[in-house]
Amino acid sequence: MLSKYGHFSDDDFEFVITRPDTPAPWINYISNGRYTRLISNTGGGYSFWVTPKLSRLTRHRYNSMPVDRPGHYLYFRDRATGDYWSPTWQPCVSDLKSYECRHGLNYTRISGSRNGLDVSTLYFVAPDADCEIWRVTVKNTTKAKKAYDVFSYVELGLGNALNDLVNQPNDQHFNDVFMDRKTRILYSSKRYWNTFGSATVEQSNQDYDKFVFMTSSLPLQGFDGNKAEFIGRWRSEQNPECVEKGKCRNTEITAGDATLALQTRLELKPGETREFVVLFGVVPRDSYKRDAQQAAKKYLNVKNTDAAFKALVADWRDYVSCVQVKTPDADMNRMVNVWNQYQTSCTFRFSRDASYYHGGLLFGRGFRDSCQDTFGPLMTRPDWVRQRLLEMSTHQFQNGSVVHCYYPLSGGYARTGHSDTPLWFPMAVAMYIMETGDFSILKQVTPYEDGGKATMLQHLYGCLDYTLSNLTKRNLPKFGPGDWNDTLDYMGRKGRGESVWNAMCLCYVLRMTVRLAGKVGDKARAAKYSKAYDKVAAAINKLCWDGDWYIVGTNDLGERVGTKKSKECKVYLNTQTWAVMSGVADRKRALSAMASAREYCDTPKGPKILHPAFRTINPNIGLATRCVPGKKENGAVFNHPVSWAVLAEAMLGHGDQAYDYYRKALPMNPVVDIDRYEMEPYVYSEYVTSPDHPTFGQASHAWLTGSSTWMLRDCTDWILGVRPDYDGLIIDPCVPRKWKKFSIRRKFRGKVYDVHVRNPKGVSKGVKEIRVDGELLKGNMIPVGAVTPAKKGAKPVVVKVDVLLG
């Protein structure tokens, strides 16, 4: 299926792209947590420091044609013939004798060859310096001596990316580029930095607090800091005038469109292989020369670069080793063992802020998104999650409400009033404690956004209390400007619309918190939230059941949406799945609701978010009715809700159906038409177009999607059935009946649990026997206390768990 454009490496740790003209840019992220670059298979992409909105480094040209311009490029010019080309194919788009891109975990290697020269460039970010390393290997495969001009090039867009986009003609007046001829480092900064959160005519009065720099280990021949001079008039990155003529103009600027371009010299004997390094990085303004020179001294040395890369590979191998599965499904194995874990690390770090679809200008760090994004790294790096949860608690207000998103560096935030946003925080905290047994986090004191302080437990309670204070007289949550579904944004603007999904989410979180309150001895809270659960669940079942499924809710006019009488959006997937997940539906209604979802919503690509799609604009529902049928929230196969369908079916014991939904959603699914699908086949996309649109099967919004974390936990926790709880590790698989055995090796609270499951009778669900290190276990929970710190250098204890289904 993937042979047309690429395939996974034999060990699954790389995706190998074998031709450059992929249906869309297929990208990767390389980052040390501060400096980040998005890198495509043809050298495109952009970089930023911490935040892509306020500290952008290189420019991303939205809607560019050709697509994926500009990028971070190398040009090789044969000094004898004048022929020039780029090993990344773009931007020159020359005919290449060979091409290959290998996207790995936090690195990318792109190779190309032309006219007797092989070039392979390894891209990654230094761990201890905020710089991007281009580690280049070249080989002269001819019998003649060769001499080349080598040009390295990036187009800058320093500071506020939104200001660069909407006010670039004025913004360019503050750019500086200059060469330090002693150290051969080319620098750039900006004398103006707008740190306002949105487009405004108000002026800042500050310098950009960073410098960027570029340097190379090859002998310097020239440089350029002016894009117009390097590219030339009426030209593009495809045919820069300086490259074509073989000579940079050595331009330094105090105004203009800034670039960093170096011209270096490379000579090769017949058959000779040489290596060199290019660095592009960012350093603090007040120590820019010292820090840039230190980075150059260390990382222009190939031995140091190779040592850093070796450590990077080892670190990411260790990261994914915490969860490893072996099932009869090879695609599931490679997804869970490598790429799903890697993707969730990216969603954790970048939220919905920096991708080719989230342009880094709007969202910042989404509160609800970031809560869910913790679920993936939680199994591997719980320390990351703890720190993130403490950070997020500071974006709550004293009344219990929370921001919808916030912006690192500026301290700004957006407060929208979405009805669901506060609920994800107590869910994330409870998940963290289930994973780690670390109840001490609840005693941590952090500030509110609007002054004052509270313990994490009080923050958690505040989210629930705020939501409970915003119920209607019918004991259902007010819809507000949207729930999880942002496009149902005019159901409840006047305060009368009711969200059934949010009522179910509230019940889900109440049930988790009742147990948590009990664990910390807070009987009063446990009783309060138990009573609240019963009240809201009763309202849902009394008012929102339509005979075979649960409705979407009511709008401000009191109109019911998602009923049998509805001509559009008759069945809504989310209220069927969460009826099961929250325990609101009894067994009979749960089975009916999920059967209705399968009957009306399922497609060859997975279940649609709703059916039928809206075809009439309804201002009393909102943006969903303005989306074209079959895309986005208007009837697409939206992978986030699909992940909840997987979970719900597994909770019901429907192993074949849960697996069917999971299998359809896999990005490397063999039935995918890759030219129609378009997106990267190694990470989840936000949605796939449904049969309601002519482009059925086309995916969009890859990488930064909540579906990645939920799909990972669907597989490990619910299909394979090894999931954490407050008191230990539950073993409760729900698998396809045809599976006869599988295993999962999972790190949990300082030990490694090596779980082997046999299914001789071909059942989907039902644990007959569990033996832990040979001892018969009573029940299906392995009791595990809090983490006991291991001695330095000691190997973790491996616990063998044998499970028999039947």
Beta-strand relationship, 751-758 and 797-805: parallel
Tokens for 658? 């849960």
Place of tokens 């409400």: 401
- pLDDT tens sequence across 458-502: 999 999 999 999 999 999 999 999 999 999 999 999 999 999 999
Tell me which residue of 359, 349, 322 sits closest to 338, measured CA to CA. Answer: 322
- Among 567, 84, 663, 32, which Cα is nearest to 330's? 663
**Radius of gyration over every alpha carbon of the chain, rounded to an integer in angstroms:** 28
DSSP of 582-643, one letter per residue?
Answer: TT-S-HHHHHHHHHHHHHHH--TT---SEESPP-S--TTT-GGGTSPTTSTTTT-EEHHHHH
Show the low-confidence residues of the chain (pLDDT under 70): 1-2, 197-200, 670-671, 788-791
**Residue 668 phi, psi (nearest 5):** -100, 20
Q: Which residues contact 555 (CB under 8 A, 6 or more apart)?
A: 479, 490, 491, 492, 496, 497, 561, 620, 621
Residue 795 token pair? 């190997």
List of long-range contacts for 613-616, beta carbons under 8 Å, 24+ apart: 613/568, 613/569, 613/690, 613/692, 614/568, 614/569, 615/568, 616/568
- Name the β-bridge partners of 251: 224
Q: Phi and psi for 77 in degrees, rounded to 5?
A: -120, 120
- How far out from the chain centre does Cα 710 lie? 12
The sheet that has 107-114: what strands, in order across it?
Answer: 6-8, 15-17, 98-104, 107-114, 117-125, 131-140, 273-284, 210-216, 185-190, 175-180
Which residue, 366, 436, 375, is CA-closest to 403?
A: 366
Kindly give, in sequence order, each residue whose CB lies less than 8 Å from that of residue 42, ignoring residues fewer than 6 positions away. Answer: 20, 25, 68, 71, 88, 89, 90, 101, 110
Task: Please say whether the beta carbons of 263 and 221 come within 8 A.
Answer: yes
> What per-residue confidence (pLDDT) applies to 362?
82
User: Counting beta carbons within 10 angstroms of the beta carbon of residue 182, is it exposed (0 to 12), middle (13 to 18) or buried (19 or more)?
Assistant: exposed
Domain 15-318 and domain 722-805, same fold? Reply is no
Partner residues linked to 49 by β-bridges? 35, 51
Integer Cα distance of 751 and 784 in angstroms:
10
Cα–Cα dist 459/260, whole Å:
47
How many Cβ atoms are within 10 Å of 311's Cβ, its own excluded? 11
Superfamily assignment of 15-318 in CATH?
Glycoside hydrolase, family 65, N-terminal domain (2.70.98.40)
Judge whether 498 and 540 are in contact, CB under 8 Å.
no
What secondary structure does DSSP assign to 340-361, as a single string?
Answer: HHHHHHHHHHHTTTSSSSS-SS
Report the C-alpha gap between 539 and 542 in whole angstroms: 5
Q: What is the pLDDT of residue 62?
A: 87
Task: Look at the domain 722-805 and name its fold.
Answer: Maltose phosphorylase, domain 3 (2.60.420)
The structure tokens listed for 288 are 């820019």
Q: What is the DSSP letter of 253?
A: B
Give the span between the Cα atoms of 95 and 111, in whole angstroms. 13
pLDDT, position 358 = 86
474's enclosing H/E stretch is none
Eight-state DSSP code of residue 631? S
Place of tokens 């059967």: 595
d(CA 285, CA 712): 41
Structure tokens at 367: 């509160």
Please indicate, yes or no, whether the overall pTM of this predicted structure exceeds 0.85.
yes
Residues 6+ apart with CB under 8 A from 394: 446, 447, 448, 449
Domain ranges of the chain: 15-318, 722-805
Please enumerate in sequence order all residues whose Cβ is within 8 A of that of 169, keeping only pairs 6 or more positions apart, or say none: none
Predicted local distance difference test score (pLDDT) of residue 203: 80
In the numeric block, which tokens belong to residue 501? 């999904």
CA distance 125 to 211: 17
Would you state the pLDDT for residue 198? 66
- CA neighbor of 424 nearest in space, from 387, 476, 370: 370
The contacts of residue 56 (CB under 8 Å, 6+ apart) are 46, 47, 48, 157, 158, 159, 160, 161, 164, 360
Type of residue found at 116:
G
Extended strands (E) in 563-625 = 571-572, 610-611
**Chain center to CA of 559:** 37
Give the C-alpha separation, 346 to 349, whole Å.
5
In whole angstroms, give the CA distance from residue 630 to residue 696.
8
**Strand runs labelled E in 47-145:** 47-49, 51-58, 72-78, 84-85, 98-104, 107-114, 117-125, 131-140
Concatenated DSSP letters for 691-712? TTSTTTT-EEEESS-THHHHHH
Question: Measured between alpha carbons, how far is 773 from 19 in angstroms, rounded to an integer?
Answer: 49
- Residues paired with 383 in a beta bridge: none
Q: Which residues are catalytic?
A: 486
User: 398 near 379, Cβ under 8 Å?
Assistant: no
